[in-house]
Amino acid sequence: MDKAGVGGKRIVIKAGTSILASGGGSFSPKNLARLGTEIIALARKKRQIVLVSSGAIALGMEVSGIPERPKKMASLQACAAIGQGKLMHAYEQFFAKRGVHTAQILLTRDGLEDRSRFLKARQTLEELLKMKTLPIVNENDTVATDEIAFGDNDILSVQVAHLIQADLLVILSDVDGFYLKDGSRVRQVVSEQEIDQELVKHLQDRRKVKTVGGMKAKLEAARVAMRLGVPLWLVNGHEEGIISRALHGKDVGTLFLPGPVSKNAREKWIAFSAKRQGTVQVDEGAFQALKSEKRSLLARGIVKVRGDFKRGDVVELEAGSGKVFGRGVVQYSSKELSQIAGKKSGEINAILGYKHRDEVIHRNDLVLWG
């Protein structure tokens, strides 16, 4: 797959605070109009668009006369409460005049970690797209805590692309793509290994007073998007017509292309959205059997158990090196696993007095990477 082959019907567009701001950092109706005009043009070509938009906290800061992003969660939440309505009002004013109505979707991470709530959110977005509205998604900052916050809207945009099974995620940035320290632009990335082994060496983030995220967050978003099978295009959101140019195969930005992905919807949820409740470390033999032979995880391959989890929870799998290489749904609690770790399946009943099943994690409940 190359740039000319990327596109599709369903596209998530992520616009950060800086895309909607003027050079001085205040909210810019002109910049919103530039973004809105692109979205209208895409909609007229029968594209289904979901917009992930930051800006609520910055708008709240602006009207409250706060010059720098607050550090306290309560202050951030207050600014979000002030700014979110103003942000949506600005969007609705622009789009309604052009025959498109908007719908506000506010998400927190815990709302997607539960499988039932995840599916409800997917159904709502699907219905909104059928109604030809423009869903505008933001984090629900007014109720988010450190434990349930996404942290930045780059990761949230990947969650949304996952939710709607998007064909493409476009992240609008302040720069023309990912640049190496020698000033050259990376045009295409085709593997997670390229990110981990090469691109991270060239990170040169500069934090802004009203925003979070940065290039490090965008690389992390790209890594997860590739894992989920969603192409991610990082482009300069300040350029006129940039999304259209990208979709026409022009040489713009940096395109992160996923490799072959065969995971079903439930496996993708396990890999990305489900809350990780603990960690199971395995020995080298189990690691090779899981990776190379596509086996289930048995108790005898477990070295160490960390965390407090129950049967049916999602845990991370860790190799002896400490590298996390997958996730899975456990058939035993952390307390039970601590007792049977390293033991043969035939010994489980004698140790616990019962046995749920031979496999600690069945291969159908395993998602591996790296």
Express each pLDDT in 75-90 by its tens digit: 888 988 999 999 999 9
- pLDDT tens per residue, range 150-194: 556 899 999 999 999 999 999 999 889 999 888 899 999 998 888
What number is the average pLDDT over the span 278-292? Answer: 94
Lowest mean pLDDT among 15-19, 122-126, 142-146, 209-213: 209-213
* pLDDT above 90 (res 213): no
Q: Which residue from 54, 44, 49, 35 is spatially nearest to 7, judged by alpha carbons?
A: 49
Same domain, 100 and 132: yes
| Residues 342/299, Cβ–Cβ less than 8 Å | yes
The reported pLDDT for the residue numbered 6 is 62
Q: Rounded to a whole number, what is the distance in angstroms from the first to the last CA of the chain?
A: 21
Rounded Cα–Cα distance for residues 191 and 189 (Å): 6
Same domain, 213 and 294: no
The reported pLDDT for the residue numbered 268 is 84
Q: Which residue from 367, 353, 359, 346 is spatially nearest to 301, judged by alpha carbons?
A: 359
Examine residue 306 and state whether it is found in any structural domain, yes or no: yes
Q: Containing domain of residue 313, as a range?
A: 275-368
Same domain, 246 and 289: no
Same domain, 279 and 204: no
pLDDT band at 263 (very low <50, low <70, confident <90, very high): low
Same domain, 204 and 94: yes
Residue 187 in tokens: 């045009």
pLDDT band at 211 (very low <50, low <70, confident <90, very high): very low
What number is the average pLDDT over the span 282-299? Answer: 92
Q: What share of the chain is helix, strand, coil (3-state, %, to 5)?
A: 45, 20, 35
Same domain, 117 and 232: yes
Domain count, the chain: 2
By three-state DSSP, how is residue 201 classified?
A: helix
What number is the average pLDDT over the span 297-324? Answer: 94
The reported pLDDT for the residue numbered 84 is 92
* Residue 285: strand pairing partners: none
The residue out of 265, 300, 330 marking a domain boundary is: 265
Examine residue 270 and state whether it is found in any structural domain, yes or no: no
Same domain, 196 and 279: no
How many C-beta atoms lie closer than 10 Å to residue 357's C-beta? 11
The residue out of 244, 265, 286 marking a domain boundary is: 265
